[in-house]
Amino acid sequence: MIDGFNDVNVKSDEGLLTSDPFEPHQGNLDARLDWTAGRRGIPFLDWGVHPGRFWIRDQSYAGPFSAKKQIVSKAESGKSGNQRLSDDNRLEFAMEGHRIFDLVRWGISEQVLNQYLDKERLLRTYLSGATFEEKHRYFPIPEQAIVYSSKDGKPTLQQNPGY
């Protein structure tokens, strides 16, 4: 448990109008706070300084802070929903090895991965000549699986295209 949690009340603008004067809390706070919650007088993503009550639906119910999770930044507000979802998944699942399946599902695997390879080829000699082709969207079916799938002497599985 974090020592000192909830020992000090953070100065807030609860009950004040946006036009009322206000100076944000000046004490020591966990640096993660401003990455997760919007507070009046503190920059909110790239939308500018948080004005307080004006940006909160019902301050008497929700309190003086606004959540930053699931908020689209100003720079991203012009992107389509699919592009924002793609960007969010890219960050959320980074280093987990699942991105290839999203790219294949969305039909953009060849474009995205070849664009990546174009740049990386300049930095990594072992990637010279590497390309992502349509056949790479699917894994090959092991030969033994095809053989074992036989029914009445004929295989019921067919190899994926390109293998």
3-state secondary structure 124-161: CHHHCCCCCCHHHHCCCCCHHHHHHCCECCECCCCCCC
In a domain, 145, yes or no: no
pLDDT (tens digit, 9 = 90+) per residue, 76-104? Answer: 677 777 787 788 788 778 778 888 898 99
Residues 16 and 69 in one domain: yes
pLDDT reported for residue 56: 78
In a domain, 21, yes or no: yes
pLDDT reported for residue 133: 92
pLDDT reported for residue 110: 95
In a domain, 158, yes or no: no
Q: Which amino acid is at 147?
A: V
C-alpha–C-alpha distance, residues 120 and 129, integer Å: 11
Residues 30 and 95 in one domain: no
The count of structural domains within the chain is 2
pLDDT reported for residue 6: 57
Q: Which of 31, 46, 77 is the last residue of a domain?
A: 77
Q: What's the token pair of residue 67?
A: 């959540």
| pLDDT lower than 50: segments of the chain | 1-2
Domain that holds residue 90: 81-132
| Beta strands, E only, the chain | 37-38, 66-67
C-alpha–C-alpha distance, residues 43 and 40, integer Å: 8
pLDDT reported for residue 129: 92
